Amino acid sequence: MVTKSGDVRWVDDRTFIRRDEDGTITHYQGIILDITDRKKAEEALDEALKKTKELELVINSSPVVVFLWKNEPNWPVEVVSDNILQFGYTANELISGEVLYSDIIYPDDLEYVRSTFERKSGETSKGLTADYRIITKSGDVRWVRERTLIRRDEDGQISHYQGIILDITERKKAEDALRLDEFRLEALLKLNKMTAAPLQEITDFAREEAVKLTKSKQGYLAFMSPDEGALIMHSWSKDAMKECAIEDRKFIYPIETTGLWGEAVKQRKPIITNDYQAPSSLKKGYPQGHVELTRHMNVPIFDGNRIVAVAGVGNKEEDYDESDLRQLILLMQGMWRLIQRKQMEEALQKYSQELSKAEIELKSLDRMEVEFISSKKDLSQVTEYGELMDGETLDIIDDLKKKAIDNVLHYSQRLRRLVDSFVYTSMEEAGKIEYNFEPIDISGSLENSLLDTIFMVEEKDILVEKIIPEPLPLVNGDEEKLTDMFTILMDDAIRFTPPKGKLILKIDAEENYLHIMVKDSGPGIPEKLIPHMFQKFYEIGALIKHSYEGLESGLYICKKIVDAHEGRIKIESKIGAGTEVHVWLPKVK
């Protein structure tokens, strides 16, 4: 109603209706009560309830869980927002006590959370912040950040904890990934500084770092046999050795008899097994006393297309993922590069010393020859005791000089090949090898290679037979790199071809490729050496003539050039029947 002064007031009208004997209304009798203040209070309450519902809606639609806990053992929940459902639990489960909050904290973190609460409770602190893991109802593990205010009663005793919980799992993963990358870079830097360290120290360091970077509990490293037919166990991590109770440990494992852990070699790719106990037709079991595996990951380490080693880790608390693979692969590739670099440096040092010894021996024989000739007047004189004639002595010295010259040539050539391979590898790792592809006629590269080796051909009077059809289809190639490749192949072929021997250069135009063959008439390459011919470095055994040393250094470069052209290269050889090197290069479409 409106007052005389114009104000509007709310009233409560409570009226009785009075009627006469005929039932006709005659009067209205009642009271009017001013309820303006009550009405305003109700409107305010409605508005507050509306805002409360809006606030509740905002809270429950946000990622933040709001809670109120009692300060009692296991932290019983009085209030929790409905969005606790994001972890699989309902608010009613926690409020009713059906689920205690202490039950969903990850077991390994429970003591940390308890000690944090106890420490803060004994201080004058008004709140605390803690990061820990919880287990969702489905069994997943999530990281949360809790920010809590401590509520105290009039006596200063803690009565409740109120605050928020925020899921920070993705942030933690990003932070862990960054931290792991930093650790890996640090590990690789340490590896690069270990050039003077023994091989065992290098492999031990890489293996233990692999365990740390992947948060595993065990690790191992095995090298492949030359034919990739067997794994030769090199070492196990320290923790694995502590837990392993196998009395008769094997060190050689034929690939055909290995179980699930050998699949990285069989499939030639990394293998992750996050449930190692699950039934699998690939499993062969493991011996009594072996470390029990729950999770396992192993990766093949490649040198070109050849598997040279296998590194594995096991029993991470969480599932292995792509990040773990990346850490393990990069670390082990760094280890293998260091091993090869170390082998090359040691080989360079070894052949430098051998070359120096051969040169000293040759100079010594030269001096011996000069001194012998100058001390004799009659080279045909024979003593009464039947000593060798002076002419025969000179022949012996001459034979020794020829052997010394052969050694000088061998070791200088070996050094040149190693240096070329070392330089190429260094440029390759630095990303400084560039290709300029264009349609070319490879007969030009072959002719340039022949010109580069013509003096060697003429010196040994070798017959070069060229079977090259005209015109040749074009290939998409880098002429300079292909010339380098053919020069290496020619150089090898001429080196093994005997004087007055024959060298064949043949090109066939196949459906999609040009097939180039370089064939010599030399002694051939032992079959067991052929699988190693495209390695960066391979130590020739003492039972095989050292004339084969150095082949792999140049052929490694050839293989890299062919791979860059998306082609193929293969060696075929038989003892006594010469060697054929086949190269296939894609034709321009």
Q: What is the per-residue pLDDT for 550?
A: 44
Cis before 471 (ω within 30)? yes
User: What type of residue is 582?
Assistant: H
How far is it, in rounded angstroms, from Cα 484 to Cα 152?
A: 83
Place of tokens 């039934």: 279
Sign of torsion over alpha carbons 537, 477, 521, 501? negative
Q: Using one digit for the tens of pLDDT, what is the confidence trace for 454-510? A: 877 887 888 989 888 888 899 999 988 898 888 888 888 888 888 899 999 999 988
Give the model's pLDDT for residue 474. Answer: 92
Residue 299 confidence (pLDDT): 93
Query: Per-residue pLDDT for the chain (589 aa), expressed as one digit of tens each?
Result: 777 787 777 777 777 778 878 878 777 777 777 777 766 665 655 555 455 555 455 555 566 888 887 888 777 888 888 888 888 898 888 888 888 888 888 988 988 888 888 777 666 667 788 899 989 998 889 999 988 888 887 877 788 888 888 888 888 888 887 887 788 788 888 888 887 888 888 889 999 999 988 889 889 998 888 778 888 888 888 776 666 545 555 678 888 888 888 889 999 999 999 988 888 777 666 655 567 888 999 999 988 778 888 999 999 988 998 888 988 998 898 888 888 777 777 766 776 777 777 778 778 777 776 766 666 544 444 444 344 445 566 677 777 777 777 666 666 666 666 666 666 666 766 677 788 899 999 888 888 888 877 877 887 888 989 888 888 899 999 988 898 888 888 888 888 888 899 999 999 988 889 999 999 988 888 877 777 777 765 544 433 344 444 444 678 888 888 998 999 999 998 888 889 999 999 998 8
Q: How many residues does the chain have?
A: 589
Maximum pairwise Cα distance, the chain? 183
Q: For position 539, what pLDDT does the model report?
A: 46
The whole-angstrom separation of Cα 197 and Cα 462 is: 47
Quick one: tokens of 179? 């931290």
Q: Can you tell me the distance from the alpha carbon of 351 to that of 10, in angstroms, rounded to the nearest whole number?
A: 110
pTM of the full structure: 0.55
Choose among 346, 340, 261: nearest CA to 297.
261
Q: Decide: 545 and 507 in contact? Cβ < 8 Å.
A: no
Distance CA 290, CA 295 (A): 14
DSSP string, 552-576: HHHHHHHHHHHHHTT-EEEEEE-TT
pLDDT number for residue 411: 63
Tokens, residue 137 = 């109802």
* Concatenated DSSP letters of 178-230: HHHHHHHHHHHHHHHT-TTS-HHHHHHHHHHHHHHHTT-SEEEEEEE-TTS-E
All domains of the chain in start order, with CATH: 11-55 (no CATH), 62-173 (3.30.450.20), 194-433 (3.30.450.40), 434-586 (3.30.565.10)
pLDDT computed for residue 313 by the predictor: 93
Residue-wise pLDDT for 104-142, tens only, equals 889 889 888 888 887 776 666 677 888 999 899 988 899
Going from the C-alpha of 370 to that of each of 364, 388, 398, the distances in angstroms are 10, 18, 12
d(CA 540, CA 28): 125
